[in-house]
Amino acid sequence: MTDINALKTELTSEIEGAGDLQTLDEVRVAVLGKKGRITALMKTLGSMDPEERKTTGAALNALKDEIADLIKSQERALKKQDMDQRLSTEGEDITLSARQAPHGKIHPISQTMEEMVGIFGSMGFTVAEGPDIEDDFHNFTALNFSPGHPAREMQDTFFLPEDDGEEGEYAKKLLRTHTSSVQIRHMESGEPPYKIVCFGRTYRSDYDMTHTPMFHQMEGLFIDKDVNMGHLKGCLTDFVRAYFKLDDLPVRFRPSFFPFVEPGAEVDIGYTKKPDGGIKLGKAPDGQEQQWMEVLGAGMVHPNVLKNCGVDPDEYQGFAFGMGIERLTMLKYGIPDLRTFFECDTRWLEHYGFDPLDRPNTTTR
Ligand code: DAH
């Protein structure tokens, strides 16, 4: 016992005498390490008789704990002393430039949607929403798709298991193939006039350079008592010119068919081909051929669609339009491959994304 007490006194003074962390660590190894003094004493327990082993073992364990605690508190004291010393001698270099904090970028899809909200907002449209999981009625039937329309076939539409709780066309669930379904939901939910735009994900079973199974669309609807085709043309011409920031962008309305509009049109914008194979939006200079590309679909809402939503087509009429958001983003910002939008590659986002502090002005045009 006296040996242990003497050892404790000796080790305590060694520990307290360690003036820096390295010396302290050497002491720790010499005492508690594999070949340390306490470790060596522990090994002698095996050769003692049981009674002696019991008392000596307990005393050694207590010593070991006390010494370990002492080393810890000495370590803390030395670290504090170190820090105090640095704080009192080291100054701050206030001329150093601030460290760059990494910050994210806004995805081009989000940017485009915000720009669109800004433009249509300034024309008095508000934003509506609808579900991604739709039923056959809202996605097709109410939009005047005849029963055998090819878009209902399995190759385009992702159908989901039928919902037992619902009946008929409401039971047939699918991932919406377009945002036109939001027109129906919006008209069902209240009285005319209606003046909305809607943004969202849409789904079709397709995959190549220009198609992904999930993509985004924007839909617009304007129904009132005296809305006509002239309003449609003015609104969409203003929109594409504002979006592409080209006041004289040529815009062409070409007759087309969509079941939910009559007459229906596709809207083309003018461009010219550049010698390097690229394109330049705008009016063709003299001597160059004007090229056209389709950017959106539109038309006067079909009377059947209004009736399906409980709106009297003899009193109300108007127009609707729809467009692919990725396509308009690719055109405006020169992004060549649609698939890269959804690969979650942060280098791509760093390159094509937008600074969060530099948001488009969404209140005025
Ligand atoms: N829903 C159509 C599509 O996905 C786009 C569209 C065309 C929407 C004409 C409209 C419209 O509202 O009037 O291709």
- 245-258 residue pLDDT tens: 999 999 999 999 99
Closest atom of ligand 1 to 220 CA is: 12
Which tokens in the block code for residue 106? 């806004």
Protein residue with its CA nearest to atom 12 in ligand 1: 321
Contact at 8 Å (CB) between 64 and 38? yes
Q: Exposed/middle/buried for 253, CB within 10 Å: 0-12, 13-18, 19+?
A: middle
Predicted confidence (pLDDT) per residue in 299-311, tens digit: 999 999 999 999 9
Angle, CA of 179, 233 and 310, to the nearest 5°: 50
Residue 255 CA to ligand 1 centre (angstroms) = 13
Cis peptide before 193 (omega within 30 of 0): yes
Distances (CA, A) of 61 to 29, 56, 68, 246: 17, 9, 11, 85
Contact 114, 362 (CB under 8 A): yes
322 lines ligand 1 (CB under 6 A): yes
- Mutation pick for ligand 1 pocket among 156, 223, 227, 260 (CB with most ligand atoms within 8 Å): 260
SS3 content of the chain, % helix, strand, coil (to 5): 45, 20, 35
Among the listed residues 211, 220, 205, the one whose alpha carbon sits nearest the alpha carbon of residue 296: 220
Are 307 and 299 a contacting pair, CB within 8 Å?
no
Reported as half-sphere exposure (CB side, CA atoms, 13 A), residue 352 has a value of 26
Confirm or reject: Cβ of 266 under 6 Å from ligand 1.
no
Confidence of residue 220 (pLDDT cuts 50, 70, 90): very high
Spatial distance between the Cα atoms of 199 and 116, rounded to a whole number of angstroms: 9
Where exactly are the structural domains of the chain?
2-89, 108-243+314-352
Q: How far apart are CA 169 and CA 138, in angstroms?
A: 9
Fold entry, domain 108-243+314-352: BirA Bifunctional Protein; domain 2 (3.30.930)
- Contact indicator for 231, 319 with CB cutoff of 8 Å: yes
- Whole-number Cα distances in Å, 283 to 178, 187, 250, 272: 31, 38, 6, 8
End-to-end CA distance of the chain: 90
| Residues 50-104: tens digit of each pLDDT | 999 999 999 999 999 999 999 999 999 999 999 999 999 998 888 999 888 878 8
| Distance in angstroms (rounded) separating the CA atoms of residues 51 and 48 | 8
Residues 147-198 have pLDDT tens digits of 888 777 766 899 999 888 888 889 999 999 999 999 999 999 999 999 999 9
- pLDDT score at 364: 44
- Residue 39 Cα to ligand 1 midpoint, Å, equals 82
- Summarised one tens digit per residue, pLDDT across range 9-63 is 999 999 999 999 999 999 999 999 999 999 999 999 989 999 999 999 999 999 9
For ligand 1, is residue 261 a contact (CB within 6 Å)? yes
CA dist., res. 154 & res. 202, Å (int): 16
Q: What is the number of the ligand 1 atom nearest to the C-alpha of 298?
A: 13
Give the mean pLDDT of 108-112: 96
Q: Separation of 200 CA from ligand 1 center, angstroms?
A: 14
Pocket test for ligand 1, best of 177, 186, 197, 321 (most atoms within 8 A of CB): 321
Is the CB of 330 inside a 6 Å radius of any atom of ligand 1?
A: no
- Going by alpha carbons, the residue nearest to atom 7 of ligand 1 is 297
Cβ(200) – ligand 1 distance below 6 Å: no
Rounded to the nearest angstrom, the distance between the alpha carbon of 297 and the centre of ligand 1 is 5
Per the rule left: phi > 0, alpha: psi between -120 and 50, beta: everything else, 230 is: alpha
Partners of residue 252 on adjacent β-strands: 268
